[in-house]
Chain A
Amino acid sequence: MKGLKLWLPLVAFVAVLGIIASALYRPADRTVYSAMVGKPLPAFETPPLLPGKPGLASAAFHDGKPKLLNIFASWCVPCVAEAPQLMALKAAGVTIEGVAIRDTPQAMRDFLARVGDPYAAIGDDTASAVQLSLGSSGVPESFLIDGNGTILLQHVGDIRADEVPGIVAKLRAAR
Protein backbone atom coordinates (compact mmCIF):
# COMPACT_ATOMS: atom_id res chain seq x y z
CA MET A 1 0.00 0.00 0.00
CA LYS A 2 2.78 2.40 0.96
CA GLY A 3 4.77 1.48 -2.16
CA LEU A 4 1.77 2.15 -4.37
CA LYS A 5 1.29 5.61 -2.87
CA LEU A 6 4.92 6.40 -3.54
CA TRP A 7 4.63 5.61 -7.24
CA LEU A 8 1.30 7.37 -7.77
CA PRO A 9 2.72 10.86 -8.50
CA LEU A 10 5.13 9.45 -11.08
CA VAL A 11 2.33 7.49 -12.77
CA ALA A 12 0.19 10.64 -12.91
CA PHE A 13 3.12 12.63 -14.31
CA VAL A 14 3.82 10.05 -17.03
CA ALA A 15 0.10 9.97 -17.92
CA VAL A 16 0.03 13.76 -18.40
CA LEU A 17 3.26 13.58 -20.41
CA GLY A 18 1.70 10.87 -22.59
CA ILE A 19 -1.35 13.01 -23.31
CA ILE A 20 0.83 15.98 -24.24
CA ALA A 21 3.14 13.89 -26.44
CA SER A 22 0.29 12.24 -28.32
CA ALA A 23 -1.38 15.63 -28.88
CA LEU A 24 1.90 17.06 -30.19
CA TYR A 25 2.31 14.30 -32.76
CA ARG A 26 -1.31 14.25 -33.93
CA PRO A 27 -1.70 16.80 -36.72
CA ALA A 28 -4.17 19.42 -35.58
CA ASP A 29 -7.27 20.02 -37.69
CA ARG A 30 -7.58 23.79 -37.96
CA THR A 31 -10.69 23.66 -40.15
CA VAL A 32 -13.58 25.72 -38.82
CA TYR A 33 -16.80 23.92 -39.64
CA SER A 34 -20.10 25.74 -39.90
CA ALA A 35 -22.65 25.21 -37.17
CA MET A 36 -25.39 25.85 -39.74
CA VAL A 37 -25.42 22.33 -41.19
CA GLY A 38 -28.86 20.83 -40.66
CA LYS A 39 -30.43 24.26 -40.24
CA PRO A 40 -32.38 26.35 -42.74
CA LEU A 41 -30.40 28.58 -45.06
CA PRO A 42 -30.35 32.12 -43.58
CA ALA A 43 -32.22 34.71 -45.61
CA PHE A 44 -30.05 36.85 -47.88
CA GLU A 45 -30.28 38.80 -51.08
CA THR A 46 -27.29 39.77 -53.20
CA PRO A 47 -27.23 41.95 -56.31
CA PRO A 48 -25.84 40.54 -59.55
CA LEU A 49 -22.07 40.89 -60.00
CA LEU A 50 -22.12 40.60 -63.79
CA PRO A 51 -24.62 42.08 -66.25
CA GLY A 52 -26.61 39.26 -67.84
CA LYS A 53 -26.07 36.92 -64.88
CA PRO A 54 -28.67 37.12 -62.10
CA GLY A 55 -27.78 37.82 -58.48
CA LEU A 56 -28.66 35.32 -55.79
CA ALA A 57 -31.32 35.31 -53.07
CA SER A 58 -32.02 32.63 -50.48
CA ALA A 59 -35.56 32.37 -51.93
CA ALA A 60 -34.06 30.54 -54.93
CA PHE A 61 -33.37 27.53 -52.68
CA HIS A 62 -37.01 26.83 -51.85
CA ASP A 63 -38.18 25.54 -55.25
CA GLY A 64 -37.98 21.86 -54.34
CA LYS A 65 -34.72 21.23 -56.20
CA PRO A 66 -31.50 20.52 -54.28
CA LYS A 67 -28.62 22.78 -55.27
CA LEU A 68 -24.98 23.45 -54.63
CA LEU A 69 -24.14 26.86 -53.16
CA ASN A 70 -20.54 27.69 -54.01
CA ILE A 71 -18.68 30.44 -52.13
CA PHE A 72 -15.80 31.55 -54.33
CA ALA A 73 -13.78 34.46 -55.67
CA SER A 74 -11.77 35.31 -58.74
CA TRP A 75 -8.76 36.16 -56.53
CA CYS A 76 -8.82 32.77 -54.82
CA VAL A 77 -6.17 30.34 -56.05
CA PRO A 78 -7.79 27.03 -54.93
CA CYS A 79 -10.96 28.18 -56.74
CA VAL A 80 -9.03 27.78 -60.00
CA ALA A 81 -8.19 24.21 -59.00
CA GLU A 82 -11.82 23.57 -58.14
CA ALA A 83 -13.23 24.90 -61.43
CA PRO A 84 -12.95 21.65 -63.48
CA GLN A 85 -14.83 19.76 -60.75
CA LEU A 86 -17.62 22.36 -60.76
CA MET A 87 -17.86 22.02 -64.55
CA ALA A 88 -18.12 18.24 -64.10
CA LEU A 89 -20.87 18.71 -61.50
CA LYS A 90 -22.75 20.99 -63.87
CA ALA A 91 -22.39 18.43 -66.65
CA ALA A 92 -23.87 15.85 -64.25
CA GLY A 93 -26.97 18.01 -63.92
CA VAL A 94 -26.16 19.82 -60.67
CA THR A 95 -27.40 23.41 -60.35
CA ILE A 96 -24.59 25.54 -58.97
CA GLU A 97 -25.39 28.91 -57.45
CA GLY A 98 -22.42 31.18 -56.76
CA VAL A 99 -21.66 33.82 -54.18
CA ALA A 100 -18.60 35.87 -55.12
CA ILE A 101 -16.69 37.24 -52.12
CA ARG A 102 -15.18 40.74 -52.41
CA ASP A 103 -15.01 40.67 -56.19
CA THR A 104 -15.15 43.02 -59.16
CA PRO A 105 -17.04 42.43 -62.44
CA GLN A 106 -13.89 42.78 -64.54
CA ALA A 107 -11.86 40.29 -62.49
CA MET A 108 -14.80 37.87 -62.45
CA ARG A 109 -15.25 38.07 -66.24
CA ASP A 110 -11.57 37.25 -66.74
CA PHE A 111 -11.75 34.42 -64.21
CA LEU A 112 -14.81 32.80 -65.81
CA ALA A 113 -13.32 33.17 -69.30
CA ARG A 114 -10.22 31.36 -68.06
CA VAL A 115 -11.69 28.49 -66.00
CA GLY A 116 -15.27 28.13 -67.29
CA ASP A 117 -18.63 29.24 -65.96
CA PRO A 118 -20.74 26.60 -64.17
CA TYR A 119 -22.87 29.15 -62.29
CA ALA A 120 -26.62 29.66 -62.73
CA ALA A 121 -26.35 32.87 -60.74
CA ILE A 122 -23.54 34.86 -59.11
CA GLY A 123 -24.35 37.07 -56.15
CA ASP A 124 -22.08 39.99 -55.27
CA ASP A 125 -21.00 39.74 -51.61
CA THR A 126 -18.73 42.77 -51.20
CA ALA A 127 -18.35 42.63 -47.39
CA SER A 128 -18.57 38.82 -46.91
CA ALA A 129 -22.03 39.28 -45.33
CA VAL A 130 -23.53 36.13 -46.87
CA GLN A 131 -20.36 34.19 -46.08
CA LEU A 132 -20.50 35.20 -42.42
CA SER A 133 -24.22 34.40 -42.17
CA LEU A 134 -23.45 30.88 -43.45
CA GLY A 135 -20.67 30.22 -40.95
CA SER A 136 -18.14 29.94 -43.77
CA SER A 137 -14.56 30.96 -43.03
CA GLY A 138 -12.84 30.94 -46.39
CA VAL A 139 -12.97 30.41 -50.13
CA PRO A 140 -13.81 28.08 -51.71
CA GLU A 141 -16.54 26.47 -49.70
CA SER A 142 -19.64 24.68 -50.92
CA PHE A 143 -22.95 23.99 -49.23
CA LEU A 144 -25.41 21.31 -50.32
CA ILE A 145 -28.92 22.71 -49.93
CA ASP A 146 -32.03 20.55 -50.24
CA GLY A 147 -35.25 21.61 -51.99
CA ASN A 148 -36.69 23.08 -48.79
CA GLY A 149 -33.71 25.33 -48.19
CA THR A 150 -32.08 23.21 -45.49
CA ILE A 151 -28.29 23.01 -45.41
CA LEU A 152 -27.36 19.33 -45.77
CA LEU A 153 -23.60 19.48 -45.92
CA GLN A 154 -20.66 21.86 -45.90
CA HIS A 155 -17.59 21.19 -48.01
CA VAL A 156 -14.56 23.22 -46.86
CA GLY A 157 -11.88 23.84 -49.45
CA ASP A 158 -11.79 22.96 -53.13
CA ILE A 159 -13.80 19.97 -54.33
CA ARG A 160 -11.41 17.28 -55.61
CA ALA A 161 -12.09 15.08 -58.62
CA ASP A 162 -12.69 11.98 -56.49
CA GLU A 163 -15.32 13.82 -54.43
CA VAL A 164 -17.54 14.69 -57.42
CA PRO A 165 -19.50 11.37 -57.60
CA GLY A 166 -20.25 11.51 -53.87
CA ILE A 167 -21.65 15.05 -54.13
CA VAL A 168 -23.78 14.11 -57.17
CA ALA A 169 -25.14 11.08 -55.28
CA LYS A 170 -25.96 13.15 -52.20
CA LEU A 171 -27.81 15.76 -54.27
CA ARG A 172 -29.75 13.02 -56.11
CA ALA A 173 -30.67 11.43 -52.78
CA ALA A 174 -31.91 14.79 -51.46
CA ARG A 175 -34.41 15.07 -54.31
Chain B
Amino acid sequence: MRRAALALSLLAAAPAFADSTLPAAPLANTQLPDPVLEAKAQALMVTLRCLVCQGQSIADSDAEMAGDMRALVRQRIQAGEQPAQIRDWLVARYGDYVTYDPPFSLLTAPLWIAPLALIAIGLWLARACFRRRRR
Protein backbone atom coordinates (compact mmCIF):
# COMPACT_ATOMS: atom_id res chain seq x y z
CA MET B 1 0.00 0.00 0.00
CA ARG B 2 2.71 2.37 1.06
CA ARG B 3 4.77 1.45 -1.99
CA ALA B 4 1.80 2.10 -4.26
CA ALA B 5 1.27 5.49 -2.61
CA LEU B 6 4.93 6.37 -3.14
CA ALA B 7 4.75 5.35 -6.80
CA LEU B 8 1.58 7.41 -7.21
CA SER B 9 3.09 10.46 -5.57
CA LEU B 10 6.20 10.18 -7.76
CA LEU B 11 3.94 9.97 -10.78
CA ALA B 12 2.15 13.13 -9.72
CA ALA B 13 5.35 14.98 -8.86
CA ALA B 14 6.00 17.94 -11.12
CA PRO B 15 8.94 20.33 -10.94
CA ALA B 16 8.08 23.47 -9.00
CA PHE B 17 9.55 25.75 -11.64
CA ALA B 18 7.56 24.17 -14.43
CA ASP B 19 8.26 24.67 -18.08
CA SER B 20 5.86 26.30 -20.48
CA THR B 21 3.53 24.35 -22.75
CA LEU B 22 4.78 26.11 -25.86
CA PRO B 23 6.77 24.01 -28.37
CA ALA B 24 10.47 24.80 -28.80
CA ALA B 25 11.41 27.73 -31.03
CA PRO B 26 11.78 26.74 -34.72
CA LEU B 27 15.61 26.79 -34.73
CA ALA B 28 16.13 25.50 -31.18
CA ASN B 29 16.40 21.83 -32.19
CA THR B 30 16.70 22.10 -35.96
CA GLN B 31 20.00 22.53 -37.74
CA LEU B 32 20.53 25.25 -40.30
CA PRO B 33 20.20 23.98 -43.88
CA ASP B 34 23.69 25.26 -44.75
CA PRO B 35 26.26 22.92 -43.08
CA VAL B 36 28.93 25.64 -43.03
CA LEU B 37 26.67 28.01 -41.11
CA GLU B 38 25.47 25.22 -38.82
CA ALA B 39 29.08 24.32 -37.96
CA LYS B 40 29.73 27.98 -37.15
CA ALA B 41 26.64 28.15 -34.93
CA GLN B 42 27.51 24.84 -33.23
CA ALA B 43 31.06 26.00 -32.49
CA LEU B 44 29.66 29.10 -30.81
CA MET B 45 26.91 27.27 -28.92
CA VAL B 46 29.30 24.91 -27.14
CA THR B 47 31.10 27.95 -25.69
CA LEU B 48 27.95 29.64 -24.34
CA ARG B 49 26.70 28.89 -20.86
CA CYS B 50 23.12 27.85 -20.22
CA LEU B 51 21.91 30.40 -17.66
CA VAL B 52 19.42 27.97 -16.15
CA CYS B 53 21.61 24.88 -15.64
CA GLN B 54 24.82 26.93 -15.38
CA GLY B 55 27.13 23.92 -15.68
CA GLN B 56 26.11 23.08 -19.25
CA SER B 57 26.55 24.79 -22.57
CA ILE B 58 23.43 25.80 -24.48
CA ALA B 59 24.35 23.09 -27.00
CA ASP B 60 24.00 20.45 -24.26
CA SER B 61 21.13 21.82 -22.23
CA ASP B 62 17.49 20.76 -22.40
CA ALA B 63 16.29 23.92 -20.64
CA GLU B 64 13.74 25.94 -22.58
CA MET B 65 15.83 29.05 -22.27
CA ALA B 66 18.84 27.25 -23.75
CA GLY B 67 16.59 26.28 -26.67
CA ASP B 68 15.64 29.92 -27.15
CA MET B 69 19.32 30.89 -27.01
CA ARG B 70 20.17 28.28 -29.66
CA ALA B 71 17.38 29.69 -31.82
CA LEU B 72 18.82 33.18 -31.33
CA VAL B 73 22.34 32.05 -32.27
CA ARG B 74 21.15 30.18 -35.40
CA GLN B 75 18.90 33.06 -36.50
CA ARG B 76 21.72 35.55 -36.21
CA ILE B 77 24.26 33.31 -37.92
CA GLN B 78 21.76 32.75 -40.72
CA ALA B 79 21.29 36.52 -40.98
CA GLY B 80 25.03 36.80 -41.63
CA GLU B 81 26.30 37.85 -38.20
CA GLN B 82 29.74 36.73 -37.05
CA PRO B 83 29.99 34.46 -33.96
CA ALA B 84 32.13 37.07 -32.17
CA GLN B 85 29.38 39.67 -32.62
CA ILE B 86 26.77 37.36 -31.13
CA ARG B 87 29.05 36.50 -28.22
CA ASP B 88 29.66 40.21 -27.55
CA TRP B 89 25.91 40.85 -27.68
CA LEU B 90 25.32 38.20 -25.01
CA VAL B 91 28.28 39.30 -22.87
CA ALA B 92 26.89 42.87 -22.92
CA ARG B 93 23.71 41.46 -21.38
CA TYR B 94 24.88 38.70 -19.05
CA GLY B 95 28.51 39.55 -18.40
CA ASP B 96 31.52 37.29 -19.01
CA TYR B 97 29.71 34.55 -17.08
CA VAL B 98 27.74 33.62 -20.21
CA THR B 99 30.84 32.54 -22.13
CA TYR B 100 33.07 29.54 -21.41
CA ASP B 101 35.86 31.36 -23.23
CA PRO B 102 36.43 34.28 -20.86
CA PRO B 103 38.39 37.22 -22.28
CA PHE B 104 41.75 38.18 -20.78
CA SER B 105 41.12 40.74 -18.04
CA LEU B 106 42.49 41.72 -14.65
CA LEU B 107 40.13 39.19 -13.07
CA THR B 108 41.01 36.27 -15.35
CA ALA B 109 44.73 37.06 -15.65
CA PRO B 110 45.76 34.61 -12.84
CA LEU B 111 44.04 31.78 -14.75
CA TRP B 112 46.34 32.31 -17.72
CA ILE B 113 49.47 33.42 -15.92
CA ALA B 114 49.51 30.94 -13.02
CA PRO B 115 50.28 27.82 -15.14
CA LEU B 116 53.12 29.62 -16.93
CA ALA B 117 54.52 30.86 -13.61
CA LEU B 118 54.30 27.37 -12.13
CA ILE B 119 56.15 25.87 -15.13
CA ALA B 120 58.86 28.54 -14.75
CA ILE B 121 59.25 27.75 -11.04
CA GLY B 122 59.38 24.03 -11.83
CA LEU B 123 62.11 24.50 -14.44
CA TRP B 124 64.10 26.64 -12.04
CA LEU B 125 63.79 23.99 -9.30
CA ALA B 126 64.77 21.21 -11.71
CA ARG B 127 67.78 23.16 -12.91
CA ALA B 128 68.99 23.70 -9.34
CA CYS B 129 68.44 20.00 -8.62
CA PHE B 130 70.38 18.76 -11.68
CA ARG B 131 73.26 21.15 -10.99
CA ARG B 132 73.65 19.82 -7.46
CA ARG B 133 73.66 16.24 -8.72
CA ARG B 134 76.34 16.89 -11.34
CA ARG B 135 78.73 18.28 -8.74
Contacts and interface: CB of A to CB of B under 8 A. Distances in A.
A76 B94 contact: no
Contacts of B17: 76-78, 138
A16 interface: no
A77 B93 contact: no
Nearest to A125: B68
A127 B94 contact: no
Interface in B43-71: 51-52, 54, 64-65, 68-69, 71
Nearest to A128: B68
B108 interface: no
B6 interface: no
B68 A75 contact: no
A77 B20 contact: no
B34 interface: no
Tell me the dominant secondary structure on chain A's binding face: loop
A137 B52 contact: yes
Interface in A73-124: 73, 75-78, 101-104, 107
Interface size, A (range): 20 to 34
Interface stretch (A1-9, A31-39, A167-175): A31-39
A32 B16 contact: no
A102 B95 CA distance: 24
A134 B20 contact: no
Contacts of B20: 73, 75, 101-103
A137 to B, nearest CB: 4
A75 B72 contact: no
B25 A127 contact: yes
A39 to B, nearest CB: 8
Contacts of A129: 68, 72
Contact of B22 (A77, A104, A131): A104
B25 to A, nearest CB: 4
B18 interface: yes
B65 A75 contact: no
A132 B52 contact: no
B111 interface: no
Sorted from nearest, which 4 A-B pairs have the closest CB atoms? A135-B93, A137-B51, A102-B20, A128-B68
18 contacts: A30-B54, A32-B51, A34-B93, A35-B91, A35-B93, A76-B18, A78-B17, A102-B64, A103-B22, A127-B72, A129-B68, A132-B69, A132-B72, A132-B90, A134-B93, A135-B93, A138-B51, A138-B65
